[in-house]
Amino acid sequence: MERISRNPNILWAAIVLLLAIQFIPQVGDFWTDYFVDPIMADSKGEAGAKYNIYNTIAYGFGFFLLFLLINELLIDWKIKLDDRFVFAAIPLLVLGGAARVLEDADMFEPPLQFVFISPLIYGTLVVYGLFIISLGVWLSRSQLPSLTKGLGLVSFAIGGYGLWWYFVPGEWLHPSSWALVVFSVSALTAEFYRGNPLRDPVLFFGITTTLVLILAYLNLAQNKITNPDIFWNTLVIASTLTMVVWFFCQVVLEKPLSPVYLLLYLGHFIDGSATYLGIDQYGYTEKHVLPDFFIEHFGTAFVMLPLKFLVVTGVIYALESEKSKEDEPEMVTLLIFFLLALGLGPGTRDILRIMFGT
């Protein structure tokens, strides 16, 4: 297969699409009705913020292209895609949900606001993640002294947020509080990992994203919590179901699941539980086409829990059955990461949104 980054057909297809939207009224109207208007409605909290069959298919295709591009870049950077990479990326997935709720809480102003709305936020997270990993790769190859690298990173973290705080409107965490957090995390990192994050891009990626996640939650914590029970109820349901799956595989079938597969179940059970509680108990609505169909058909969002189990089980069975698991294990690992993102990210967003009543 030709590398996605070197395929000229994709660029030409994008150019043709942009020209058609600009100069063909019917295409422009279709684009506005089915792609632009749902995002605009979502930014305003209006009823038209649901997905439709057209943007769902288009986003799925874009997701596939993004998957191929990320795989190529990580191979070029010699990043090993294994279970360790997936676990290091968990803070990024949770960050996606937190950043989405910050947008719900009106912490961003247009046009910046729009890149934190689904599905554009996935692109935002990918750009951020690739930037951090590429920075980690550069640090691992640079001959600069570790102290110079460390001081530069701390200065960038504090100074960069200081500029953000100064220019972006809203009640963001004061830079002095952020500086204290950065210094504390830097000290703990130096104590437990020494200079390893500067030589290990995956470890650097995990620690850096965790720091940004802390910043997101500190800003969210300034808002009033209106529904605290949603967090514990969702966690209990998702954890219980995951333990049932683990017990059945480990004891009954005597076929242990790998930790990353259990994480995949947990992430999607969190999403399914949050959807169930949010719709049936808190009066929220489902935006996605297929889940909305099943919820309407069965009359309850509880159906999302067995559906999540069936989907994840089917994916795991397919991955275990495919020869590609042996031929291209890194591709399979990246696929698991993307599937986890589709569960843990939206699930985190739903929990936080209900907690803070946004």
> What's the token pair of residue 247?
């017990």
The answer to whether residues 79 and 200 touch, using CB atoms and an 8 Å cutoff, is: no
The answer to whether residues 347 and 270 touch, using CB atoms and an 8 Å cutoff, is: yes
Please report where in the chains the tokens 């930790």 appear, as a residue: 259
pTM: 0.85
Classify burial at 241, counting beta carbons within 10 Å of its beta carbon; exposed 0-12, middle 13-18, buried 19 or more: buried
The answer to whether residues 98 and 220 touch, using CB atoms and an 8 Å cutoff, is: yes
pLDDT given at position 3: 65
Please report where in the chains the tokens 């999540």 appear, as a residue: 308
pLDDT given at position 251: 82
Could you tell me the CA-to-CA distances from 302 to 31, 94, 165, 278, 296 in Å, in that order? 34, 23, 42, 10, 11
> What's the token pair of residue 103?
């947008």
What end-to-end distance do the CA atoms of the chain give, in Å?
A: 45
Chain centroid to Cα 172, Å, comes to 22
Chain centroid to Cα 134, Å, comes to 18
pLDDT given at position 7: 66
Tens digit of pLDDT at every position of the chain (358 positions)? 456 656 667 777 778 888 888 888 888 888 888 888 887 777 666 655 667 788 888 888 888 888 888 888 888 899 988 889 999 999 999 998 898 888 888 888 777 888 888 778 888 898 999 999 999 999 999 999 988 999 999 999 999 999 989 887 667 899 999 999 999 999 999 899 988 999 999 999 999 999 999 999 999 888 888 898 999 999 999 999 999 999 999 888 778 888 999 999 999 999 999 999 999 888 877 777 778 888 888 888 899 999 999 999 998 888 877 655 566 777 788 888 889 988 998 899 999 989 988 7
Distance CA 221, CA 90 (A): 20
